[in-house]
Chain A
Amino acid sequence: MTSLLDFLSCVADTAGVDNRLRVLRAEREWSQAELAERLGVSRQTVNAIETGKYDPSLPLAFQIARLFAQRIEDVFFPDGKPEVRP
């Protein structure tokens, strides 16, 4: 239920969101605390990244992308929208 609510709030907040972390986390039904533990950071850090209040360092961004088996540019979008693959 929490994951669904997270997913819906993420969809509602699409404008201005510069990463897909909340969606990827919701797909795996992980809580913020679970993801934080897997990444070795605090839950506050995961929340701040998801809400766009904090941009992770490059090593952490790569770690996040690796954890979700994605390319880094498929998780983080500098211009606010996903890169279109050719």
Chain B
Amino acid sequence: MNSAPASPDAPRPRLVLSFLVPAAFVGAYFAARMGLETVEPGSRAAIALALLPVPFFAFLIHAYTRAVRGMDELERRIQLEALAFAFPVGLLVAFTAGLLELAGFPGKGNWDLPRLWPLLLLPYWFGLVRSRRRYA
């Protein structure tokens, strides 16, 4: 495992990852959602708007991967434990909400994926905090 010293400019990618890249994605996402309400569904403009956040999220994945490569071995383990917790919990939330929606609770259309996905970040943050505390 790579435990080479971090480069002097290491804090910069961390700042980009932790603030600018997610902010760009969230901005693109809400721009797409607002734009989709003003265009005709099924039109080319609607499809283009729906795909607008994709490059931003791809950049987010790239920035996250780079940040993980720059971490030391304990921080990588913490990330792995957080993701190992968040992925199954996220699946659980998604399929349970889907089944509850099919069952008519708590109202049709309230738990669709565009509304649900921000909640899927919570298990990751919870896992991160839990894992960091374990090794603190």
Given A44-B136, A48-B135, also A54-B3 (CB < 8 A): no
Q: Interface residue count for B (Cβ, 8 Å)?
A: 14
**B136 — nearest CB in chain A belongs to which residue?**
A44
User: Does A42 contact B75, Cβ atoms closer than 8 Å?
Assistant: yes
How far apart are B90's CB and chain A's nearest CB, in angstroms?
Answer: 26
Neighbour of B74 across the interface among A37, A48, A59, A63, CB < 8 A: A48
Contact residue range for chain A? 10 to 19
Interface of B is mostly: loop
How far apart are A43's CB and chain B's nearest CB, in angstroms?
Answer: 10
Which residues from B are CB-within-8-Å of A41?
3, 72-74
Which residues from A are CB-within-8-Å of B77?
54
Q: Does A4 belong to the interface (CB within 8 Å)?
A: no
How far apart are B98's CB and chain A's nearest CB, in angstroms?
Answer: 38
B1-34 interface (Cβ within 8 A of A): 1, 3-6
User: Does B74 contact A54, Cβ atoms closer than 8 Å?
Assistant: yes
User: Does A42 contact B3, Cβ atoms closer than 8 Å?
Assistant: no
Most B CB within 10 A of own CB, among A39, A42, A45: A45
Interface string of A46-66 (1 = CB under 8 A from B): 011000011011011001000
B33-77 interface (Cβ within 8 A of A): 72-75, 77
**B73 — nearest CB in chain A belongs to which residue?**
A57
Which residues from A are CB-within-8-Å of B115?
none
Which residues from A are CB-within-8-Å of B3?
39-41, 57, 59-60, 63
**What is A's interface to B at a CB cutoff of 8 Å?**
37, 39-42, 44-45, 47-48, 53-54, 56-57, 59-60, 63
Provide 5 A-B residue pairs closer than 8 Å at the C-beta atoms, listed in order of the A residue.
A42-B74, A44-B136, A45-B72, A48-B136, A57-B73
